Copies of this chain bind each other. A is one copy, B any other.
Amino acid sequence: MSCQPIKTEKHKKEMMAVQDSMDVLSGKWKITIISSICYYNKRRFSDILNDVSGISNKMLSKELKELEINKLIKRTVLNTQPITVQYELTEHGKSLQTIINNLTDWGIKHRKEIIGNNSEISDHPESQNILAESNI
């Protein structure tokens, strides 16, 4: 176990890196917004507003701005009447695609997992409510 301190150093760096990611990606709607833009390639403000269920225009505007500052998305004003605005991932933003895909796959898997486990615990339909606040 003499290698423990070295392992710990490594883990600390890994933890810091995760924190760095979360500084940019946490926030109630960021990941979902990015997913919308990612899957549709180019997406307008009002479209994202629909994609991300529950978000307000105020929050969408705010989070888009933050993502833009962090160079993850690019904002383009189109010469339409009335004006529309298009959002797309930057090259750097596109490096998140893997993560988005993983999260998508995991979401599907998780849904199955939870439903499966619940029916193991009890057959009562009411027990479905146990799944922790999955519909805030």
CA distance A113 to B133 in the complex (A): 36
Contact present for A40 and B11 (CB under 8 Å): yes
Q: What 0/1 pattern do residues 73 to 112 of A give for CB contact below 8 A with B?
A: 0000000000000000000100110111011111111110
Given A14-B104, A39-B11, CB of A71 within 8 Å of CB of B20: no
* Chain A: interface size category: 35 or more
- Please report which residues of chain A, range 39-73, place their CB below 8 angstroms from some CB of chain B when the two chains form the complex: 39-40, 51-53, 66, 69-71
CA distance A53 to B23 in the complex (A): 12
Contacts of A19 in B (CB 8 A): 32, 53, 107
Least Cβ distance of A128 to chain B in Å? 14
Contacts of A11 in B (CB 8 A): 39-40
Main SS of chain A's interface residues? Answer: helix
Least Cβ distance of A108 to chain B in Å? 5
Residue of B at shortest CB range from A136?
B23
Given A106-B96, A117-B71, CB of A22 within 8 Å of CB of B31: yes
- Please report which residues of chain A, range 11-45, place their CB below 8 angstroms from some CB of chain B when the two chains form the complex: 11, 14-26, 28, 31-32, 35-36, 39-40
List 10 A-B pairs, Cβ < 8 Å: A16-B107, A17-B104, A17-B106, A19-B32, A19-B53, A24-B132, A25-B103, A26-B26, A70-B110, A99-B103
